[in-house]
């Protein structure tokens, strides 16, 4: 029987080979960089790159390539042409490359991606473990080698089944850039993920430069110094630095201020300063720079940076370009001087090394998610990143502050799920269609035995279950037609079999997209919450003591009570107040007495009627509580049943049983059935135990049967009881009214309601006048 397994393990074994320690060790030991640019020059580029920004992008990479690395440039349409020879990078090679880069155009007829990759990997049979072979592929279209669709599909299949596995086996890392949303992104992702390269999309030609640069950073990691607030520090170990400054204003003149306050610009080029200016950026290379703080005078964009050539280097064990959801990565950093790892404990103790993690839906929306001081383990600084759980782009940064020098390392990582899903626009049959597309990021899936189902919830919360059909290009597709504006959510489940014969089930993260008539269907990007430094909670302010208070509270001294002339120790107004309060208290006591008499009388009348009714209807019935308790011993509790009272106690006309007579066990079913028919109101709810029925009714167990047995009698005599109750209550009310009236008359309060209100108001006014006269007498001079 096939075993279920985690698809994370499947992908880790097949697609993310870069996480293998062996591969990491090979990458770490590689010293030589090999970069090969493959540029699409098909006719469609006239539409997607009208300003031919591919030329300045290639020129930028030519300038950034380090000395002694190897590089070459190929262009392709239907045919593949080596534009710049693949050789060692030096001054003559740069001169040739600058001249040839101007020949990049858009005149090709087809898009022969497979042949271009094979031509760039002309030395595929030669393996050099000391070289990192990188191919950067830029295209705006799909596999297009013929006018016949069948030929193009066959070529697509050949690339996936033959070309990619060979390049992967030979150790090539392929970074892909799609210069159009209409490019075959699925193929680009397959190529990059299989070889652990970077896959990105430039939605406009203006984004091409920065996307190209990120692919170059992945292929050629460069050591950087921190550039903060337009300032950077150069130490004595730096032999050369290169500042790449992207300007916000294309017309602005960038200037560079050295530590000795000398200003440099694009017109002050010398033997030690090389300044390359375009309409978008300045590339400044300074050899043998002065030690100290340098200042860039320009309005820079965030992607600007300064790289250095030094014999004091920060090395970080290479991280993969692609990881799966939930991956946990370790950072291992160390310092080298002249190629040797620094082990001096005193020197390393002066280092302050921290790691940071930024994340976002794409590289333009990165926010800081995590920061930690790296722990020193002998000669290395180590840290573990938090689990990555949101699909998107992450950037790992390691920063070293050595007091007299700084170094910075940056690495971009793309987090993917084992299967991806998105919604795309397609025109067909004269209308715009939306296609839900699912792709696999692994080659260890048996596509013919894998099924995909989507559960879509529309804005009205109505669920629609749609199976996805497998296309010839290894994608699962289904067309959706939104009919309501608002938010749509899709939960996608994949169930299938790997090439090894193991079953798997995988559920993708919920996909959310919004539909509007004007904007169409737009997928919602995952939100990354920025982690801000915690602010210390403010300490509670101490409660001021009387000694610490600036102005002590004024405490009024008690006033002396004047003695009346009549010889009484209290003034007249106090006596009036006492009399009024006493009358009010008597009135309240009378009211409470009235309520108590009325309530108690009602209870007594109801009790008497109930007792009389019981004596009338069942004069010969025995007292059930005493007899049942004395004659019937409680049995042990069974699963659900409890001891029930005999049915004779429920029937007032039945003869009384003998005290010693017990119910036979075989008669219990009939008796229980009769009880269920007679007293259905005692049946408990589904979640109520039978033992709790008496508790719910507010009765003792032995009272349940008796009270229910009297229900019919109570119903028959209800009217008589009500009439008797009314007569008794009416008589009692008359007596109580007479008593209350007598009490009020005794206190002089037998007034009408309005007269009583007037009397109380007059009393209060008299009291206030007396108090005012008393205060005036006290304030008068002696």
CA 490 – CA 453 distance, rounded (Å): 10
Q: How far is CA 53 from CA 48, 202, 209, 230, 383, in A?
A: 10, 12, 8, 27, 40
In terms of Cβ atoms closer than 10 Å to its own Cβ (0-12, 13-18, 19+), residue 609 is middle
Neighbours of 690 (CB within 10 A): 14
Of 665 and 330, the one with more pLDDT: 330
Residues in the chain: 782
Residue given tokens 């001169």 in the structure block: 95
pLDDT digit string (tens) for 317-369?
999 999 988 888 999 999 999 999 999 999 999 999 999 999 998 888 899 99
Neighbours of 688 (CB within 10 A): 12
Identify the pLDDT of residue 397: 95
Q: How far is CA 77 from CA 105, 139, 142, in A?
A: 10, 10, 11
Q: How far is CA 255 from CA 224, 245, 265, 288, in A?
A: 20, 10, 5, 19
Residue 587 confidence class, pLDDT cut points 50, 70, 90: confident
Phi and psi torsions of 562, nearest 5°: -70, 145
CA 522 – CA 543 distance, rounded (Å): 56
Residue 623 pLDDT greater than 60, yes or no = no
Residue 575 confidence class, pLDDT cut points 50, 70, 90: low
Reference 385, options 287, 319, 433, 439; nearest CA is: 319
Identify the pLDDT of residue 176: 96
CA 369 – CA 40 distance, rounded (Å): 37
Identify the pLDDT of residue 547: 44
Which structure tokens are listed for 369?
Answer: 């998610």
Identify the pLDDT of residue 537: 53
| C-beta of residue 195 within 8 angstroms of C-beta of residue 219 | no
Reduced to 3 states (helix: H, G, I; strand: E, B; else coil), residue 398 is strand
Residue 650 pLDDT greater than 50, yes or no = no
Residue 181 confidence class, pLDDT cut points 50, 70, 90: confident
CA 371 – CA 374 distance, rounded (Å): 9
Mean pLDDT along residues 497-506: 93
The per-residue DSSP string of 288-314 comes to SPPSEEEEEES-B-TT-EEEEEESEEE
pLDDT digit string (tens) for 259-269?
999 999 998 87
Of 161 and 762, the one with more pLDDT: 161
pLDDT digit string (tens) for 682-703?
343 444 444 443 343 343 444 4
Residue given tokens 């009549």 in the structure block: 566
Identify the pLDDT of residue 696: 34
Identify the pLDDT of residue 767: 61
Residue 78 pLDDT greater than 90, yes or no = yes
CA 26 – CA 33 distance, rounded (Å): 13
Reduced to 3 states (helix: H, G, I; strand: E, B; else coil), residue 189 is helix
Q: What is the DSSP letter of 159?
A: I
Identify the pLDDT of residue 432: 83
């Amino acid at each position: 029987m096939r075993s279920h397994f985690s698809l994370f393990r499947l992908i880790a074994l097949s697609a993310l080979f870069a996480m293998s320690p062996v591969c990491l060790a090979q990458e770490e030991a590689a010293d030589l960089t090999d970069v090969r640019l493959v540029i699409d020059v098909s006719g469609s580029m006239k539409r997607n790159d009208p300003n031919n920004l591919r030329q300045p992008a290639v020129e930028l990479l030519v300038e950034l390539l380090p000395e002694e690395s190897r590089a070459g440039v190929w262009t392709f349409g239907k045919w593949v042409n080596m534009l710049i020879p693949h050789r060692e990078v030096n001054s003559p090679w740069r001169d040739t490359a600058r001249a040839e880069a101007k020949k990049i155009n858009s005149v090709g007829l087809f898009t022969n991606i497979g042949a271009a990759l094979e031509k760039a990997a002309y030395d595929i049979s030669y393996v050099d473990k000391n070289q990192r072979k990188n191919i950067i592929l830029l295209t705006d279209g799909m596999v297009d080698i013929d006018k016949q669709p069948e030929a193009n599909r066959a070529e697509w299949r050949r690339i996936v089944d033959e070309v990619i596995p060979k390049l992967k086996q030979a150790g090539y890392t392929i970074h892909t850039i799609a210069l159009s949303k209409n490019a075959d992104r699925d193929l680009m992702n397959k190529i990059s993920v299989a070889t652990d390269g970077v896959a990105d999309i430039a939605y406009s030609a203006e984004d091409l430069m920065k996307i190209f640069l990120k692919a170059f950073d992945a292929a050629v990691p460069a050591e950087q110094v921190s550039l903060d607030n337009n300032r950077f520090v150069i130490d004595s170990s730096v032999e050369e630095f290169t500042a790449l400054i992207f300007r916000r204003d294309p017309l602005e003149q960038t200037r560079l201020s050295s530590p000795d306050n000398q200003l440099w610009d694009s017109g002050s080029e010398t033997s030690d300063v090389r300044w390359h200016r375009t309409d978008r950026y300045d590339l400044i290379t300074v050899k043998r720079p002065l030690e100290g703080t340098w200042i860039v005078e320009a309005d820079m964009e965030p992607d600007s940076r300064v790289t250095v050539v030094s014999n004091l280097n920060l090395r970080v064990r290479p991280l993969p370009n692609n990881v799966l959801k939930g991956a946990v990565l370790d950072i291992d950093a160390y310092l080298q001087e002249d190629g040797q790892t620094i082990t001096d404990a005193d020197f390393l103790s002066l280092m302050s090394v921290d790691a940071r993690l930024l994340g976002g839906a794409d590289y333009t929306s990165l926010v800081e998610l995590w920061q930690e001081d790296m722990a020193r383990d002998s000669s290395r600084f180590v840290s573990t990143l938090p689990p990555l759980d949101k699909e998107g782009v992450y950037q790992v940064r390691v920063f070293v502050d050595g007091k007299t020098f700084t170094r910075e390392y940056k690495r971009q990582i793309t987090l993917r799920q084992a299967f991806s899903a998105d919604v795309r626009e397609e025109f067909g049959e004269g209308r715009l269609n939306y296609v839900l597309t699912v792709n696999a990021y692994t080659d260890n899936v048996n596509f013919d035995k894998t099924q995909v189902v989507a559960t879509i919830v529309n804005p009205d919360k109505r669920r629609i279950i749609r199976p996805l059909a497998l296309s010839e290009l290894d994608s699962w597709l289904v067309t959706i037609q939104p009919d309501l504006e608002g938010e749509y959510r899709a939960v996608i489940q994949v169930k299938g079999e790997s090439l090894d014969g193991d079953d798997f089930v995988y559920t993708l993260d919920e996909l959310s997209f919004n539909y509007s008539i004007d904007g169409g269907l737009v997928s919602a990007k995952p939100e990354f919450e920025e982690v801000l430094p915690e602010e210390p909670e403010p300490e509670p302010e101490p409660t001021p003591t009387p000694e610490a208070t600036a102005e002590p509270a004024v405490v009024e001294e008690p006033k002396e009570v004047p003695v009346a002339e009549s010889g009484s120790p209290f003034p007249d107004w106090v006596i009036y107040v006492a009399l009024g309060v006493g009358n009010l208290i008597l009135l309240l006591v009378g009211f409470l007495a009235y309520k108590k008499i009325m309530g108690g009388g009602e209870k007594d009348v109801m009790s008497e009627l109930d007792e009389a009714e019981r004596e009338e209807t069942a004069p010969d019935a025995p007292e059930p509580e005493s007899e049942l308790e004395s004659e019937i011993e409680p049995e042990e509790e069974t699963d659900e049943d409890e001891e029930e009272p005999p049915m004779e106690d429920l029937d007032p006309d039945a003869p009384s049983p003998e005290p010693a007579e017990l119910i036979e066990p075989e008669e219990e079913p009939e008796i229980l059935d009769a009880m269920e028919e007679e007293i259905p109101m005692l049946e408990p709810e589904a979640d109520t135990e039978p033992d709790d029925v008496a508790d719910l009714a507010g009765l003792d167990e032995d009272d349940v049967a008796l009270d229910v047995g009297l229900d019919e009698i109570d119903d028959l005599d209800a009217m008589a009881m009500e009439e008797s109750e009314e007569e008794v209550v009416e008589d009692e009310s008359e007596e109580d009214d007479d008593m209350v009236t007598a009490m009020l008359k005794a206190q002089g309060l037998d007034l009408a309601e309005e007269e009583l209100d007037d009397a109380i108001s007059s009393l209060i006014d008299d009291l206030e006048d007396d108090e005012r006269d008393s205060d005036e007498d006290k304030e008068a001079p002696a």
